[in-house]
Structure 1
């Protein structure tokens, strides 16, 4: 466990709009803790489930994919074919080359991409509506960013429990 205070207690992030600091802090906190938790996690346990819960591999894929999708919607874009294909493969060990390290690195890159988008966000449009998903359900830009943070933390918590049980 880190000796530093949690990310949100380390002060504001440079070049990050004040209204989006909590989102950035949550993503950074999840990334720090996820990297620590997954260090040395055996690849052969990636797809194991405990008591019907989702596998670590699913959570790692899903964390990455959801950030990508929600931040795409925040930019008022629809999902491209690659994103839809990624979504269809979440939780399925269809490619035997998946590794813990590779999935963690993919999440880290997606967090970096999200932080860049947050840092460049036009805060005057945070209350603008954005269509979400095939159903084009209404959200706002800030709603999408906030949900990305809380969804990341929700799945981080589930991943934490699953990994700790599997390591027993």
Structure 2
């Protein structure tokens, strides 16, 4: 498939239930766009907050963390202490390495999500699930869709931040 063609125009992802195809396409598109947008991104600016906005590093860690948390809730489980620790530290770079490692972490989580989708019968998609300590109501499909659309939203924000940093560096040369 050409890399300039969006995933949703490439046909079904093998073995993904039809109702989860849009979420699978969005997650795969997120991985592709992140890799494109961060080509030649300067590592020393990974945690920079231009214009008091979230850093590229935050967006990369956050989309991985949200996807992980939504899969946990969809599986009808509560978050672990490790997940709470990750959430608390998404924006500060604690334990983070390079942008390439953060991209690889997200891609690995997307692969895990796609495996989850493949093993999710459509018959459970409308089952109620609960989010967070307050046990806010959702459904399996609501959680999976949110993970995908949330990833796309942050990819857009990451693009703006990364391009602002690159433009600023280019102008200062």
TM-score normalized by structure 2? 0.92
Instruction: Measure how far apart 1:4 and its partner are.
Output: 4.0
Task: Name the structure 1 match of 2:143.
Answer: 144
Q: Secondary structure at the match of 1:101?
A: helix
**Structure 1 pair 92–3 and aligned structure 2 pair: CA distance change class (3 A):** closer
Instruction: Measure how far apart 1:37 and its partner are.
Output: 1.2
User: 2:64 matched to 1:48?
Assistant: no
TM-score normalized by structure 1? 0.95
Task: Name the structure 1 match of 2:78.
Answer: 78
Stretches of structure 1 that go unaligned for 5 or more consecutive residues are none
Task: Name the structure 1 match of 2:20.
Answer: 20
TM superposition outliers: structure 1 runs of 4+ over 6 Å: none
Where in structure 2 are the equivalents of 1:108-147 lying within 5 Å? Answer: 108-147=107-146
Instruction: Measure how far apart 1:119 and its partner are.
Output: 1.1
Q: Aligned partners of 1:3 and 1:54: how far apart in 2? A: 27
Q: Aligned partners of 2:27 and 2:102: how far apart in 1? A: 16
Instruction: Measure how far apart 1:102 and its partner are.
Output: 0.9
Q: Secondary structure at the match of 2:53?
A: coil
- Per-residue CA distance 1:95-139 (angstroms, 9 max, x = gap): 4x5211111110110111011101111211111110101111000
Instruction: Measure how far apart 1:36 and its partner are.
Output: 1.4
Instruction: Measure how far apart 1:3 and its partner are.
Output: 4.8
Q: Secondary structure at the match of 1:138?
A: strand
- Per-residue CA distance 1:24-79 (angstroms, 9 max, x = gap): 00000111111111122121101111211100010000010000000110010111
Across the aligned residues of Structure 1 and Structure 2, the Cα RMSD in angstroms comes to 1.1
Task: Name the structure 2 match of 1:30.
Answer: 30
